[in-house]
C-alpha cells in the first residue's frame, strides 16, 4: 500500500473543536510547505468493544456507525473548505483504533497534527489517550493545536516556516 501521507502533513479529526483547530492550522502549514494534507478520521465498530452478553438494545449497527464516521469526516472537510477554499487535501476514512490508524498514516509524513484542550481547561486531561500514544510512538513530529474556547481567545501563534526545524522543503 502506498501511503498517501508520504512527505505530507497528516491531521486527525474526530468532530471536536480542538480537531477543527488542528485542521485549520494544518491547512495553513501544508500551503506554506507546499506539502499534501491528509485529513484522517479513524473509526471502529463498537460491537468489538462490548462483552458478548451486553444487551443489544440501543446499539448502532456497523452500517450506522460507518455512516456516522463518514458524516464526521464530511463535516470536517466542509469546515476546512469554508475556512480555506483553495486548500488541496485528501480525506481518509479508515477503520480501526485511532492511534494505530494515525501512526500508520503518519509513518512517512512531515508531521502529525492533533487537537488538544486549552492548557487552562482543568476539567480533564489536556491530552487524550490517542494523542498520548501518538506522542509516544510517532516517528514524525507531532503538533498539538489548542482548541479555541471563546471569541476572546487568541489564535494559536503563527510560526514562520524557518522556525519549524526539520520541516523545510527542498
Residue ranges per structural domain of the chain: 1-47+58-97
- For 2-20, what is the mean pLDDT? 83
Q: Using the Cα atoms of residue 110, residue 116, residue 119 and residue 125 in order, give the sign of their dihedral.
A: negative
Q: Contact at 8 Å (CB) between 9 and 33?
A: yes
Q: Using the Cα atoms of residue 101, residue 104, residue 108 and residue 114 in order, give the sign of their dihedral.
A: positive
**Interior/surface letters 50-74, b for 16+ CB within 10 angstroms, e for the rest:** eeeeeeeeeeeeeeebeeebeebbe
pTM of the model: 0.79
Dump pLDDT digits (tens) for 93-134.
Answer: 999 999 999 999 999 999 999 999 877 756 777 788 999 999
* pLDDT at residue 161, as a whole number: 40
Dump pLDDT digits (tens) for 23-60.
Answer: 999 999 999 999 999 999 999 987 666 666 666 666 77
* pLDDT at residue 127, as a whole number: 84
CATH architecture of 1-47+58-97: 3-Layer(aba) Sandwich (3.40)
Amino acid at each position: 500500500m502506498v501511503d498517501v501521507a508520504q512527505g505530507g502533513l497528516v491531521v486527525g479529526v474526530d468532530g471536536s473543536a480542538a480537531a477543527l483547530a488542528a485542521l485549520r492550522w494544518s491547512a495553513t502549514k501544508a500551503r506554506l510547505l507546499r506539502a499534501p494534507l491528509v485529513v484522517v478520521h479513524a473509526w471502529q465498530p463498537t460491537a468489538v468493544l462490548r462483552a458478548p452478553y451486553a444487551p443489544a438494545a440501543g446499539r448502532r449497527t456497523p452500517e450506522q456507525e460507518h455512516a456516522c464516521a463518514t458524516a464526521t469526516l464530511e463535516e470536517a472537510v466542509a469546515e476546512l473548505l469554508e475556512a480555506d477554499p483553495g486548500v488541496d487535501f485528501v480525506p481518509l476514512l479508515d477503520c480501526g483504533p485511532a492511534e494505530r490508524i494515525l501512526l500508520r498514516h503518519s509513518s512517512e509524513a512531515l508531521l502529525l497534527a492533533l487537537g488538544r484542550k486549552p492548557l487552562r481547561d482543568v476539567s480533564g486531561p489536556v491530552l487524550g489517550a490517542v494523542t498520548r500514544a501518538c506522542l509516544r510512538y510517532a516517528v514524525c513530529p507531532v503538533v498539538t493545536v489548542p482548541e479555541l474556547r471563546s471569541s476572546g481567545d487568541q489564535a494559536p501563534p503563527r510560526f514562520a516556516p524557518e522556525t519549524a526545524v526539520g520541516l523545510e522543503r527542498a
